[in-house]
Amino acid sequence: MAAYTKSYRETVLARIQRNDKYARALFAEACSAILEGEPSIGLSMLRDLIHAKITFKKLAEDTEIGEKSLHKMLGQNGNPTITSLGKILLAIEGNLGITPKVKA
């Protein structure tokens, strides 16, 4: 019998696309993961968010960083500079219509 289940990634991407509140929460979690010393987890969440809501092409236009460079920076072994990461986060915020609130 054929399986009728979606992969985890497909499920997450579909939820991001249809639920703006979920997309904003995922962005917040990605930022928290990066700040708490788990950059690979945070970058993975950002990748999913970009694939579902923005596209790497649009992000490249918004950040003035090459599309291939963005893929490398946000890849599994990515290591973006703080300047590049700042540009990426600002562009995602703008595309999602987010105004961040920072708590110390």
Residues 18/9, Cβ–Cβ less than 8 Å: no
Coil/strand/helix, residue 65: coil
Q: Which residue has the tokens 């946000």?
A: 74
The CA distances from residue 83 to 11, 16, 67, 88, in Å, are 32, 26, 16, 9
Over residues 41-46, the mean pLDDT reads 95
pTM of the model: 0.85
| 67-104: pLDDT as tens digits | 999 999 999 888 999 999 999 999 999 999 887 777 76
pLDDT on residue 2: 54
